[in-house]
Structure 1
Amino acid sequence: MPRIGRAMMADSTASMAGAALGTSTTTSYIESTAGIASGGRTGLTAVIVGGLFLISLFFAPLAGSIPAYATAGALLYVAVLMAGSLAHANWEDPTDGAPVLIAALAMPLTFSIAEGIALGFISYVAIKALSGRFSDLNPAVIILSLLFATRYLFLI
């Protein structure tokens, strides 16, 4: 796709801004790809989608009135899909398998996918560091782990 770099930069900037403001991350790239796949070729597609999103704001209270237990079926289906990925984990190496297990158990116990991912990152770096396998650690993973750990320190 030509000029995809600009779309990716806009998407990543919007995701960072959304996270900094405490909202869910944005998906502008996926929305634009869906628009192109549906036949939209101009900027008018994005304007129409934006207008429809504005109209949907009036229906947000209606969506909020749906009780949490009504989504249990969809959440169970997503859990089954995610559990299939556990088969691809390296269970032979405890320094790889233990963080996967911690993350997989933390997600339902904390009722948050993000918390499970955070605990998975922290435990991965801690286990690799304690076992002396620093060469297995990527600097980005270390930085994310430190950010997650800092977040937990501020919650105390």
Structure 2
Amino acid sequence: MKYLCLGVLLCMVWVKPVSAGKKQCQPYLDKLRNIQAQQRVGHSNKKAHSLAKREQKARDKWWQCQQGKLPKKASIKKKKKTRSKGSSLANKKMQTPIFDQAYAQSASLTNHVVIRGEFSGQKQQDWLDYFQPLEQCLKPSSTQIFAFCLEDRRKQRQQFVQNYQKRED
């Protein structure tokens, strides 16, 4: 507080605007900086408008806090995630394990993973040496190309089996 006295009888008091402590306003400043960081990352035009609105609201809240215009117990509330009835069913399905733990222990699948090829032993190695995928099949760009690649693999496998049987005989 500052006092200015004019003579002996008249004194005026100047009071600085009440500003809340930095500790109280820090969550608002953190939220503002978080939104600004999101704005610096590439995003769509729609997202840019949404972030601009959120930034303005966050800046206003922070400034009100700095000026002492927010109630003392004001805090940033986190939104609770709400689920619709349809999504809760999907979430329950996603949370169920793919296989039962007891089954995994009885089948001794807990310590290692078994990957099987189309053939076994030397025949598998010969198949890997024989099979030549087409260049367009390395990264198929459509379902038609993917289907074509599956058919090509099936034909090459069929030819390999016939040639391998002739070689064994």
TM-score w.r.t. structure 2 length? 0.22
Which gives a bigger RCO, structure 1 or 2 (Cα 8 Å, sep 6+)? 2
Larger Rg: 2
Structure with greater strand percent = 2
**Structure having the larger proportion of residues in helix:** 1
